[in-house]
Amino acid sequence: MFRFNNHLWLMHFLITAAVCFGIIQNTSFARTVEYDLTIDYKTVRFNAINTQAMTVNGTLPAPTLYFQEGDTAHILVTNNMDVATSIHWHGILLPNHQDGVPYVNHPPIQAGDSHLFTFTIKQSGTYWYHSHTGLQEQRGVYGAIVISPKQAQTVPAPFDQEATVVLSDWINENPDEVLRTLKSGSDYYSIKKGSQQNLLSAIQQDGLAYAFKQALQRMPAMDISDIAYDKFLANGQPETIISAKPGEILKLRLVNASTATYYTLQFANNAMEIIAADGMDVEPLAINHFLMAIAETYTLRIKVPAQGLFELRATAQDGSGYSSIWIGSGARVAAPDREKPNPYQMSMPMPKATHKGNMAHHNAGMHHKMAHHKMKPDMHENKTSTTPYQQLVAITSTTLPIANTHREIQLDLTGDMERYIWSINNEILSADNVIKIKRGENIRFVLNNKTMMHHPMHLHGHFFRVINDQGDYSPLKHTIDVPPMGQQIIEFEANKAQDWFFHCHILYHSKSGMARVISYAEDSIDQELVSIRHKLYSDEGFFYATGSFLSQMTEGSAVYSNSKNTLQTEWQVGWQNVPSTEYEFNVTYERYVNRLLSGILGVRLENNIERGIFGFRYLLPLNIESEWRVDTAGELRVSLGNSIQLTTNINLFADFEYDTESQEEWSVGLNYLFTKNAGIVTQYHSDFGMGAGIKITY
């Protein structure tokens, strides 16, 4: 009896102690973590040029924010710049009005203002934050978020040290000017980095048949990346060093905060494991190299090799450069150089996502045996790298609450590469194409990429299942690459409120219209937001111009254009081989039906002629531009134009025109581009003869 009582007392004591310990622990977890973040201009110097960056607390990247699951975050963001700004917490699950997208979640943070974000941290892992205003992210407003789990994981992970590396791309040129240049159809960036497709390189790289076939299908030359960057950065420098001893186990958190660059990650001695993707733990995946999309995060487990400083290299997907993370100590051991991709072998459509239902993991025992599965040997070992999605296995089942029901929404990723208009289902972001969903639904997005570029699609406020070969254990992500002409299927439970942004995370694509608002149909947004929401949907116009000034003539055009409309002035004035100066001016309004067809309406002013004109422009196979028009005097005119890039700098162009009144007229010439804005031209014109001069592009 006595012994029994004694045991009872002991048990009581133990239970009380356990409960108290739990309370103390819980109390210690329920802490408030405060950060003051000030966004301001700062002069930085990459490539020997001073540039005005935008930084958070004076650093590029912004400081890493550390939290523990269960913390309450109080983050005061102060805008010291003279333009509005914002901060979005990428991948963080939080209340709608804390998500940071201006005009979607709350008004922008105006110049001189502060905004306090407060939310409870409900997850752990590697995340990041960045400006969601204009092109500010390109200027440096990005940083990492590291959240440690609430309690030690069931299987303790023996890490000797942890490091966080933010990858980014840097250009000295003003990002607004970058976007305007892309809109103007300039090949400048592909010329700058030597990736431009031309006749000579097609012959050299055995790509003539491919290039001809692409042109026949009216496909523009494909660029892996739109922009020629001056630097690729790892924690704000071309290289960063993580000192470690041989045999140590390193937990490396990687964030791709680039605005337009995917990277191939490859470690010098090949040994690395992916242990988390987009903040979510996955079954450890041993991998040789992999493609990291923009806005993704990966956590790697790396065993520091025997003596040496080993390179983990992040090579830009287009092969135009890299940044380095050196791990270890002692003599440097570089990662292998990666071959530049061949632009004439890019058309292979990626395999469509397969959904094998519950087949892959019908029992947990088998699931655990798969903890260390290796990637299949890569056929193009050093040429291509792909995302690891097919091999990612979630730690626990990720099936949605109400299994096997979903509403499918087809989203085609579309674009007009020539005019640099990026869209979804052929429409840029607007008030008319908000995607309505209902709480409680399972939503499945079928993402079909109809373009020749990768698009990293990011959904705010939700994690989605990536439908891959892993059945119930499909990984959860917040950002997914949809490869050129490829497909991805994602699904998520609609369990939030109000409006969330969904967009391509190539900054310049998102800004050009490849975005949507996902809206919970039953919820309304704040009055304050209602009055300013239209600013989210503005269809910005861009101005660009080109003019040739030659010994026998001058011609050119000035254009103001938004997604569907163009206002254009064209001129042609000649003074050689003609009795008196001949001039012609056309002012046209052009309305685009799609990327091939547009209608035109305008006026034509010529020596002694003033007429109205109307007709259409249509892109013919082989990328021949055609214009068909009649004027108010009943005269018909057909014009055809084409140009072929012969070498990186030399362009051959030809124009032919038949007019029922003035008969035919044609010209042919060569243009040698030597800077972004200037080239030398020599041209023969059927009316004005031979001449030479300069071509200016703005």
Closest by CA position to 400, among listed 446, 464, 477: 464
Q: Does 509 bind Cu ion (CB under 5 A)?
A: yes
CB 163 within 8 A of CB 242: yes
Three-class SS of 476-519: EECEEEECCCCEEEEEEECCCCCEEEEEECCHHHHHHCCEEEEE
Q: Does 224 bind Cu ion (CB under 5 A)?
A: no
Closest by CA position to 87, among listed 96, 73, 77: 77
The least distance separating Cu ion from the CB of residue 220, rounded to whole angstroms, comes to 15
Q: Which region among 86-94, 403-411, 449-457, 604-612 touches Cu ion (by CB under 5 A)? A: 449-457
Q: Which region among 322-330, 354-362, 465-473, 499-507 touches Cu ion (by CB under 5 A)? A: 499-507
Matching residue, tokens 């990327």: 595
Query: What distance in Å separates the CA atoms of residue 102 and residue 93, rounded to the nearest whole number?
Result: 17
CB 575 within 8 A of CB 552: yes
Nearer to Cu ion, 289 or 509 (CB): 509
Phi/psi at 222 (5° precision):
-85, 135
Nearer to Cu ion, 455 or 511 (CB): 455
Nearer to Cu ion, 262 or 473 (CB): 262
Q: Which two tokens stand for residue 28?
A: 């210690």
Phi/psi at 43 (5° precision):
-80, 125
> How many Cα atoms are found within 13 Å in the side-chain-facing hemisphere of 466?
30
Q: Which class for 456: exposed (0-12), middle (13-18), buried (19 or more C-beta within 10 A)?
A: buried
With CB under 5 A, what is the number of residues at the site for Cu ion? 4
The least distance separating Cu ion from the CB of residue 536, rounded to whole angstroms, comes to 18
Kindly report whether the peptide bond that precedes residue 61 is cis, defined as omega within 30 degrees of 0: yes
689 Rama class: left (phi>0) / alpha (psi -120 to 50) / beta: left
The least distance separating Cu ion from the CB of residue 504, rounded to whole angstroms, comes to 3
Query: What distance in Å separates the CA atoms of residue 652 and residue 635, rounded to the nearest whole number?
Result: 30
The least distance separating Cu ion from the CB of residue 277, rounded to whole angstroms, comes to 20
Q: Does 504 bind Cu ion (CB under 5 A)?
A: yes
The least distance separating Cu ion from the CB of residue 695, rounded to whole angstroms, comes to 31
> How many Cα atoms are found within 13 Å in the side-chain-facing hemisphere of 267?
22
Closest by CA position to 463, among listed 478, 475, 479, 474: 478
Q: What's the N-to-C CA distance of the chain in angstroms?
A: 97
The least distance separating Cu ion from the CB of residue 502, rounded to whole angstroms, comes to 12
Q: Does 458 bind Cu ion (CB under 5 A)?
A: no
The least distance separating Cu ion from the CB of residue 509, rounded to whole angstroms, comes to 3
Site string for Cu ion, 384-423 (x = CB under 5 A): ----------------------------------------
Contacts of Cu ion in 264-303 (CB under 5 A): none
The least distance separating Cu ion from the CB of residue 422, rounded to whole angstroms, comes to 6
Q: Does 506 bind Cu ion (CB under 5 A)?
A: yes
Q: Which region among 1-9, 91-99, 179-187, 504-512 touches Cu ion (by CB under 5 A)? A: 504-512
Query: What distance in Å separates the CA atoms of residue 201 and residue 194, rounded to the nearest whole number?
Result: 10
Q: Does 455 bind Cu ion (CB under 5 A)?
A: yes
The least distance separating Cu ion from the CB of residue 506, rounded to whole angstroms, comes to 4
Contacts of Cu ion in 535-564 (CB under 5 A): none
Nearer to Cu ion, 225 or 697 (CB): 225
Q: Which region among 455-463, 536-544, 557-565, 669-677 touches Cu ion (by CB under 5 A)? A: 455-463
Nearer to Cu ion, 277 or 447 (CB): 447
* DSSP letter (8 states) at residue 238: S
Q: How far is CA 98 from the centre of its chain?
A: 23
Nearer to Cu ion, 78 or 168 (CB): 168
Residue 206: helix, strand or coil by DSSP? coil
Q: Does 94 bind Cu ion (CB under 5 A)?
A: no
Query: What distance in Å separates the CA atoms of residue 31 and residue 488, rounded to the nearest whole number?
Result: 40
Q: Does 516 bind Cu ion (CB under 5 A)?
A: no
The beta strands (E) that lie in 121-182 are given as: 125-130, 142-148, 161-170
Q: Which region among 188-196, 498-506, 584-592, 650-658 touches Cu ion (by CB under 5 A)? A: 498-506
Nearer to Cu ion, 75 or 506 (CB): 506
Nearer to Cu ion, 280 or 506 (CB): 506
Nearer to Cu ion, 442 or 449 (CB): 449
Q: Which region among 106-114, 404-412, 447-455, 645-653 touches Cu ion (by CB under 5 A)? A: 447-455
Nearer to Cu ion, 108 or 220 (CB): 220
The least distance separating Cu ion from the CB of residue 407, rounded to whole angstroms, comes to 25
Nearer to Cu ion, 466 or 506 (CB): 506
Query: What distance in Å separates the CA atoms of residue 110 and residue 79, rounded to the nearest whole number?
Result: 7
The site for Cu ion (CB under 5 A) is made up of 455, 504, 506, 509
